[in-house]
Amino acid sequence: MSTACAAMIDDGVIRGVLATVECQTRVYAEGGYTALTTGSSVFQGAVTAILTIYVALIGYRMLFAQGSARLSDAPGIALKVGLILALVTSWSTFQSLVFDLADRAPTEIAAIVSAPFTEGGASLASRPVDGLQAAYDEFSETGAAYGQLAGPNAKGYSSPQAAAAETTAAASGVLFLASAGVISAATLAIGVLTAIGPLFIVLALIPATRGLFVGWVRALAAAALTPLVAWLLIVLMLSVIEPWIVTLAEQRMAQRLNAQTAMSAAALVFVFAAGQAALVVGACVMAFAFRLPSPRVDRGRAGAVTAAAASGPASAPLPSRAERLALDLQRDQAQAAARSRVAAVAAATHPTSSRQVSVTLDDTRRLGDAYRRNSFTARRAGVAR
């Protein structure tokens, strides 16, 4: 444990846990990233090999016109490679674009959204961490007071005091898990995912492994959205239970404990804990909606498909140049075969005119061959342009 993080010990359960986890996570993420990117020759060799394979595949597709790769895509490809290299070689860049975005941005957004509830300086919601610590301490002390009032032999719900003691003690534990527990778990997940982030960022280059990168982004987004929704609900919870906390403190100090008040306050904590669980599930669902954009389709085929969709469901997309050329050749062959059959039938029916039909057929074939040559030459010229 670092010296700065060790200084946060004995600062209260909730306050100490949140501060220590935050400090240690940042130290661990930076150390893991540095060890992976600069201290591992295996990772550096893997990055070089993946970049070489990626550039070779792009060059092959552009050279042989495979897929939808075009020369106009070169600036975008260079930008993507440069961004990946910047993220896997510089901690300052990675920290600003990845770690701070996932760790600090949700807390700042939650502070902005909950500003109307935190304007009053004397309320628990004005300083959520201190407010959580005060609520946790009050439930713990109230539970101990009810336990002393119920006596050492009280078990379960044998008396209202015993029931209030167990309920408030459970409420303190649930309050810790629904606040500091959820936020600390999400912060730890962000630290671990950040430390191994360069591995998945490099895998985003290869289409076969791009799904692993998408999964990493979804997990990181879920871990980042969890503190956002958690802090928002915590501020709302502190605003709601503050009058109950004040009443419990007054009753405890005046030695006039009311079991109904304690159990009602504990029930509010249980309700907000259930809401916290639902929000965590919702954050995961929102994160899993992340998708990478689909590969760009050829402009000509995309235009043909769009025109076909606009004209109606019964129309088919327009064929490409190669398909049109094949259709033209098949049509010419069919016409030549039909003319041959007509000439054969005419020769069999009128032997005297067979020679004239043969001459006419030869002239037609020569004209068809000239037409095909001219058409093919024109198509080649259009393709070259």
| pLDDT above 80: residue 353 | no
Cα(360)–Cα(381) distance, rounded to whole angstroms?
32
Query: Distance between CA 64 and CA 68 in Å, rounded?
Result: 11
- 3-class SS string, the chain: CCHHHHCCCCCCHHHHHHHHHHHHHHHHHHHHHHHHHCCCHHHHHHHHHHHHHHHHHHHHHHHCCCCCCCHHHHHHHHHHHHHHHHHHHCHHHHHHHHHHHHHCHHHHHHHHHCHHHCCCCCCHHHCHHHHHHHHHHHHHHHHHHHHHHHCCCCCCCCCHHHHHHHHHHHHHHHHHHHHHHHHHHHHHHHHHHHHCHHHHHHHCCCHHHHHHHHHHHHHHHHHHHHHHHHHHHHHHHHHHHHHHHHHHHHHHHHCCCCHHHHHHHHHHHHHHHHHHHHHHHHHHHHHCCCCCCCCCCCHHHHHHHHHHHHHCCCCCCCCCHHHHHHHHHHHHHHHHHHHHHHHHHHHHHCHHHHHHHHHHHHHHHHHHHHHHHHHHHHHHHHHHC
Whether the pLDDT of residue 14 is over 80: the answer is yes
Question: What is the reported pLDDT for 69?
Answer: 63
Q: pTM, whole model, 2 decimals?
A: 0.70
Segment 256-261 mean pLDDT: 86
Predicted local distance difference test score (pLDDT) of residue 352: 53
pLDDT band at residue 294, thresholds of 50, 70 and 90?
Answer: low
Q: Are 157 and 163 in contact (CB under 8 A)?
A: yes
Where is pLDDT greater, at 175 or 368? 175
Question: CA separation (Å) from 120 to 10, 124, 125, 316?
Answer: 28, 9, 8, 66
Q: Which of 144-153, 224-233, 316-325, 343-352 has the lowest mean pLDDT?
A: 316-325
The pLDDT tens digits for 173-209 are 999 999 999 999 999 999 999 999 999 998 888 888 8
Q: What are the residue boundaries of the structural domains of the chain, listed by start?
A: 3-39+90-287, 319-384
CA distances (Å), origin 314, targets 48, 204, 299, 310, 318: 50, 39, 22, 11, 13
d(CA 89, CA 83): 10
Average of per-residue pLDDT values in the chain:
79
- What integer pLDDT is reported at residue 228 of this predicted model? 94
User: Environment class of residue 367 by beta-carbon count within 10 Å: exposed (0-12), middle (13-18) or buried (19+)?
Assistant: exposed
What is the predicted pLDDT for the residue at 301? 47
Band (pLDDT 50/70/90 cuts) for residue 366 is low
